[in-house]
Amino acid sequence: MSVSRFVVAAPRSGEGKTTVALGLMAAFVRRGFCVQGFKVGPDYLDTTFQELATGKPGRNLDLWMMGSDAVQQSVEKNSGGCDLVIVEGVMGLFDGHRDGKTPSSTADVAKLIGAPVILVIDASRMAASVGAIALGFKQFDPDVNIAGVILNRWTPGRDITAVSAALQRVGVPLLGTLERTVDVELPSRHLGLVGAHEQHIAAKEKLDIIADHIQKSVDLNLIFSKSQAAPVSHVSHVSHMSHMSHMSHMSHMSPVGAEVYANHDVQVSQKNHSVRLGVARDKAFFFYYPENLELLQSLGAEIVFFSPCDDAQIPSDIDGIYFGGGYPELHAEELSRNLSMLDSVSAAAQQNIPIYAECGGLLYLGRSLTTLDGVVRIFTGVIPGDVQMHPRLQGMGYRQATLARGCIIGSAETVVRGHEFHYSSFAFDLGSPAAYCTEQGSEGYSKDSVVGSYLHVHFSGHPEIAKNFVLAMHQFQISKTQEKNSEQQKICNKKIATNGEKNL
């Protein structure tokens, strides 16, 4: 990997690194650069703005869920043909997993891909102290290359002499400022930024304003020269899951019921679409890592998008359904009024179509959702239980989970790494079989052909999940064909019997 690259980080959350990172992406695109954006961590929303800024899907680099090999390979694969890679960090530069040891921070990613770090500091209420912060971050881990500082929320007309002198004293370049103005604030809500696709024109206008500020007051030439100095990086070919021997057992998953697949030699096509996968994607469901869908496609799944809000029913002739996360709670009334879609999904589950759901998808598969206003909305009822929305977070953070039983995505005792972030709670009916066991207790639901939980999983770190899901769809397709042939044989036998009676 020799493409020019840098990471935009900050001392803590809320300093403005997202705004600066997006502004830099948009500004370099204006200069004619082909830019690929990445986001450290599991966030789905910042990447929607990255796509708007660069014209290319933003992608996540999450060491906890993906592993170092997959992270590095993602950067190499997706930066091909690009002039510049810009990576937006997460939280503070050195903040990561709660144990303080597991590599998962922005600094860990920067070191892995050999990228210099631009530190964004909110200097609205400090001057020379900026130098002390920069020095501390520079010395905390000498292997992290602090290439310079951008001052955010800088008051127009303010004397910058003291800050410049302090940064010069500690040997960290001042790369520019972004003035304090309401024009560059991006709207947000309970799960983070409002998705760029939901406010496309307004979001594009906002990015243009930010890019204008960046072009006016940030030294883009100096930044690009710093990014060109990034050393050539090589893939380690060592995954964080390699030590987990149980991953090798995932191909021997348990299908519907308790029996193990008899047809283990099902060949998954690498080129031709051999099964059809319905993927819920609309304003209520849009949290999908691009790699998840790409991997499913590479394994032979034809992706067929549909809208639970607007379509009358699920797509015809599908062999599986994938419900990602999103905001079903914001569109609960619309979803509950689409009775034909609710019935269609419920009927699919009864036919044992493999269904995999994450977070928002889990909510939709429940029996009902009660909003913050106390309004009860009826959903599909595929999973026996009810959802309650809350004004405060109910679950957030990385999770290491173990599959409680064999199912469409793996065998019992398989360990999966993912993350949760939700303001709802799901009250499952007593005796409902859980999908996972975690440190927090039982989680999710798994029975027959349905798996649903709050856990978001990046398939790059767990490719066997995608493989097993496709295998489950193959098995459903086979059973569907066998059932059809059986019905045709019955009809044929009936005709033969009828003709025989006539001949007599």
Positions marked active-site: 359
The span from the CA of 222 to the CA of 273, in Å, is: 47
Q: Residue type at 282?
A: D
Distance CA 89, CA 110 (A): 9
CB 74 within 8 A of CB 112: no
Q: What is the dihedral angle through the alpha carbons of 230, 92, 121, 210, rounded to the nearest 10 degrees?
A: 80
Q: Phi and psi for 268 in degrees, rounded to 5? A: -90, 125
Q: Residues, the chain, total?
A: 504
**Token pair 């019997």 in the structure block, residue:** 497
| CB-based contact 362:453 (threshold 8 Å) | yes
Could you tell me the two tokens for 68? 């170092």
Residue pair 265/97 in contact (Cβ under 8 Å)? The answer is no
Q: What is residue 301's DSSP assignment?
A: E
Residue 55, SS3?
coil
State the DSSP string of 93-121. Answer: TT--STTS-SS-SHHHHHHHHT--EEEEE
Distinct helix (H) and strand (E) counts, the chain: 14, 25
Tell me the longest C-alpha to C-alpha distance in the chain. 109
| Helical spans, DSSP H, in 330-442 | 332-337, 339-350, 360-365
The answer to whether 348 and 355 have CB atoms below 8 angstroms apart is yes
Buried b (16+ CB within 10 A) or exposed e, 442-457: bbbbbbbbbbbbbbbb
- Whose CA is closest to 319, among 296, 291, 342? 296
Which residues on adjacent β-strands are paired with residue 152?
122, 178
Task: Name the 3-class secondary structure at 349.
Answer: helix
Rounded-to-integer distance, Cα 101 and Cα 99, Å: 5
